[in-house]
Chains A and B, each alone.
Chain A
Amino acid sequence: MSWQDFYITYRDGFGQTLERGSRELSSLPGELEGYASGLDATGRYENGGPLVLKLETGRRVVSWLRALPVQTVGRAGAWEAWGVAGSADDDPRYWPWYWSELCTGPRPVTKLAERLTKGGSSTGLPEPPLALPAILLAFQQQKEPPFVVMMREPTDLDLLPWVWLLGPIDPLAATLGPPRPRPHASRPFSYEAVWEPEVEAYGSSLSAATRAAAFSVQRIQSLQASPTALDEILAARAGKGVLTAAMPSAASGVSVAPKAPPQQARQQDVSMHPADLGESHDEGAGHGTEATPPDPRRGPQGYYYSAEKHGEKQKPGRLRRFFSRKAPARALLPAKRPVVRAAPPSGRRWLVAITTLLGTLVLLDAVTLIAILRWQRSTPPAGSGGAANVTSSVTTVAPVTTVVPEDKLGVVCSSEFTASTEQQQLAAALVAAARSGKLQIAAQLEDIAVAAADPKAPLWQQSTRDRLVHAATQIHLQDRHCLAAQPIDGVLGDRTRPALAKCPAVSGLTDMDHLRWLCKWLGANMGGK
């Protein structure tokens, strides 16, 4: 059975009725009843939320679910749902790309149905929310279900499709949603998303977001850059092997992910491992970042996001293996030609093995030591330097890749990637671009950037940092879509231009267009241009 569009609503005298959909789906209202009951029809989430799951009957649904107000239907407890339904073997993994179509109302989601039926790569890339990296970080650190997404604002709903896709579980076994208006029974799922405005939300812990930004952006860019990236990521997450994904181009890979040196950034294919989510987080945590993600299990309401399959607890061992699996060191080294050697005589095998092991350990220690030294050197000491120093650091940064012991969870680290240095790099780049005359940026943003570039100034407040990182992320992601209207000659590198040629034209110039300019400038510089 391919994916079929459906719409269920409440009809007086008929109850919950399948208004649109084939006869095969006639039992779907009853199957969704348990998920739909108790939804809030009048609260802040009155517009409902996503529900993506594999039902107990084996049917899969990708849907939007919301309660109907009593004033409309004359009865409490009524609801409506729309979306697509498929069989147990159908692959739902591309649905986040059609998030906007799904959440706009009870209209046929033909594009979603067609894409899921067709499979393969997706087109277009909605903008991931800023808090996504922090949530992924929290999930990664938590390791064990339940996983809870804190919801502060209705716009936080945008988190859910990406958490579903990029979270630390296999989407084929994951359940997402629906919203809950009040404390409910503990669900048979290990992931829950909670809405409780009074509780500190992930969205405000942007230091964590900053630490994880590199991962998130890079991962999402990889999904877009390579038609097969999604499949590879998912396969890797399912424990089928090491992920191999195309690295983002220079223009897109530098503004918030300056961890790769120019030499490595030019590598067309660099192996990534699912556990690389933890590397930057681990690094950031080691530098004393102040924000600790709130207990995601606090609060009784909201969404849930399940890693379990209909009551079957996911085996903890699998998750542990998933996160602690160490990426091969060679994955981050430039590709080498394979060397074919003759097998040593059997009498010498032990000697060769021991020698190789000792050599590897020495090499790892050396690399780790170098990484630590470089990190200490690249971290600007408090009270020294200013905008000029930071600008200099942008051009001289030379990240070093290292491998940390497995028991520290992190696998692959870029020692230069810290919250402060990244932000300062961004800020300095903004200032430099504006002062060089190559770029006009909004005055307000320029003020922020100037202030943020000065380590002495007490400006690393949450709001400043948030705005800066947010702006950079916006720039970075949006320039993947619509940049063709800008005069890019002389600013962008050869690797960026082809990518931009695929983007649709934008109409009118806004502040965001200027910010996109900024991103290109950063891309060109950080990319070695």
Chain B
Amino acid sequence: MNLLALLRSDDGKCPLCGGGATYHVWDEIEPQELARKLHENAEWKKAHGVAGPIDLGPGQRMPGFDKNRPKTPAPQSHVRCATCASLLPPSFYVKSTHTFSLTVTGFPSSGKSTWLKHAFEHSSFGVFAEAGRIGIEKYPYAEPFQVEGSNSRTNIPFLLSGREVELVDGRERRKVLVRILDVMGERFHQDREAAVPRSTRDILQRHLLQGRRGALLALDPLKGAGASSVPPADAAATALLGKIGQAFADVHRAVASELDHQNRTGSSLWSGVVWTHLDKATWNDEGPVWLSAALKGGPPPSLGTLGAMTLPSDDDHQIWQAATHSLTPIDIWRVASAVWRQAFRNPSDYEERRAAAGSGPRGPGLLPWEEVAAAPASKAALEALIALLFRVQVAYRYLVPPGVPLLDFSHGDGLPYIDGTRVLAQGLYVLWDQLRSGIVGQMVVNGTISEVLPVGFVGRAPGATSGGHPVWGDLILAQAIEGSGALQ
């Protein structure tokens, strides 16, 4: 990262204020001192949407504001925006052809910051990390915090952080500089009766337009547990969902339009939904009933066994291996086909999407329309299927030992398994969103949103919203990077 920092880019801009000029700082200061200086800087507070004082606890020293290069050898410099003094991670200003801007929208407490944090961490439940297929180096600061901070909710509306991601595909190693904008959830409904503030949308658009490629993700949590919580909790939740969905659509449309207008060759915007908190869904008796009715010839025994599995702890390795050893990608694609028939009730739409989902080298693909039974899923059955989806993700770790070709992202046999799970997630999300009268699912149906990326956590304490291991967190990141074309 330090070597990359030497390559300054002239077109790097601060996404918060739009300023293009930067300057180096050489000192480091205590967090309390930083908080005092930031509070006195009206431009910084305006750019970050901070209204009151900045409150920092004790911690490691942070980059300061001294522009004078010290005489002592080998100093570490940092870069700040000349307009608003925001600390810019190297990925925001380093010159590279492989840059990628990532930002998120979503409810408060939907897991935006949590996912952003875990997506760039190695996890035993990741798809690539255990096989050494992905390398991540992070810039340690997301001013005014350290990246390795507490798990408390974010109280600064806009945070900038950066990563350098190295994806390994055979002998080829490709590095991508990731620019991350983390947005505090409350910024999407500051006024409960009005739309998402214009200032928030402007910052999102500016951030996405400054990278050559970008990804706009909507984080949508599975609320609560139990079948009764699948539909919207109340009118206010529905209204908020609509606001966030509308903001997502507005930003997506504006960025895509601007990219077309600028005719920026190779620029693209990828959009997806990160469906979080899937570990809260619970298996129930409606699951086997629906599987029997929807899958011609009956469900494979492994699915029923898997759905009833308790989420694993560290000592459950053998139990899970025994439960999942007969699970095949075909089983997953069969369930996904039945779910899709519910989500896409029009045969022509179904066939069109089936064709898009693909078959052949990447997997068996969706079954033809006539081979899938039309068995409407009740709310309880839907929740059971969501629980099954998450357990399919978890089972991947036990089904495939680390290091075997199945883990290979591009050519291995694991792809049908992973792709089938992604297709299943899309169908379930659309059904779930229809139940709560959301508008994001419709964006998946009409193609505005490319992908539904399921994620949940294992090893969390009951009721906790932090800790544990994210399942397939790196898959989402890789999908977003690949989908945006940042590797090309």
Contacts and interface: CB of A to CB of B under 8 A. Distances in A.
A30 B107 contact: no
Interface in B307-328: none
Taking each of A13, A26, A29, A188, which has the highest tally of chain B beta carbons within 10 Å of its own beta carbon?
A: A13
B58 interface: yes
B52 A185 contact: no
Nearest to B188: A15
A318 interface: no
A31 interface: yes
A311 B31 CA distance: 18
Contacts of A70: 464
A212 B261 CA distance: 74
Contacts of A385: none
B223 A13 contact: yes
A34 B52 CA distance: 5
Q: How large is the interface on B (under 10, 10 to 19, 20 to 34, 35 or more residues)?
A: 35 or more
Contacts of B57: 38, 182-184
A74 B465 contact: yes
Nearest to B108: A15
Nearest to B237: A13
Nearest to B157: A30
Interface string A61-76: 0000000001100111
B38 to A, nearest CB: 9
Nearest to A38: B55
A13 B51 contact: no
Interface string B16-49: 0000000000000001111110011000000001
Nearest to B184: A15
Given A18-B192, A26-B191, A57 B56 contact: no
A37 interface: yes
- Secondary structure call for the B interface: loop
B39 A14 contact: no
Q: Which of B40, B55, B184, B465 gathers most chain A CB within 10 Å?
A: B55
A118 interface: no
B186 A15 contact: yes
Interface string A48-92: 000000011100000000000011001111100000000000000
A55 B35 contact: no
A37 B155 contact: yes
B97 to A, nearest CB: 38
Contacts of B463: 71, 74
Contacts, number: 130
Interface string B149-181: 011110101000000000000000000000000
B380 to A, nearest CB: 22
A482 interface: no
A262 B411 CA distance: 102
B114 to A, nearest CB: 10
Contacts of A29: 186, 190
A290 interface: no
B369 to A, nearest CB: 37
Interface in A5-62: 12-18, 23, 26-27, 29-38, 55-57
Given A33-B51, A55-B52, A185 B31 contact: yes
A107 interface: no
B65 to A, nearest CB: 15
A404 B478 CA distance: 79
A186 interface: yes
A287 interface: no
A33 B193 contact: no
B101 interface: no
Contact of B465 (A15, A32, A75): A75
Given A15-B108, A23-B193, A77-B152, A31 B40 contact: no
B185 interface: yes
B280 to A, nearest CB: 11
Contacts of B110: 13
Contact of B53 (A30, A74, A187): A187
Contacts of A32: 52
Contacts of B54: 34, 185
Nearest to A15: B108
A78 B53 CA distance: 17
Given A13-B109, A14-B107, A55-B52, A186 B150 contact: no
A76 B52 contact: no
A56 B110 CA distance: 29
Interface in A289-311: 311
A76 B150 contact: yes
A186 B186 contact: no
Given A13-B109, A57-B51, A188-B39, A78 B32 contact: no
Contact of B240 (A14, A187, A311): A14
Q: From B40, B109, B151, name the one whose CB has the most chain A CB atoms within 10 angstroms.
A: B109
Contacts of A36: 155
B153 A34 contact: no
A37 B153 CA distance: 9
Contacts of A76: 150-153, 466
B186 A30 contact: yes
Q: Across chains A and B, which 8 residue pairs bring their CB atoms closest together, nearest first?
A: A34-B52, A15-B108, A185-B35, A77-B152, A77-B153, A76-B152, A37-B155, A26-B191
30 contacts: A13-B110, A13-B233, A14-B236, A15-B107, A15-B109, A15-B185, A16-B108, A18-B192, A26-B190, A26-B192, A30-B51, A30-B157, A31-B51, A31-B52, A33-B50, A33-B155, A34-B53, A34-B54, A35-B53, A38-B55, A55-B51, A55-B52, A56-B51, A74-B465, A75-B466, A76-B150, A76-B151, A183-B57, A184-B32, A311-B39
Interface of B: 31-36, 39-40, 49-58, 107-110, 150-153, 155, 157, 184-186, 189-194, 221, 223, 233, 236-237, 240, 463-466
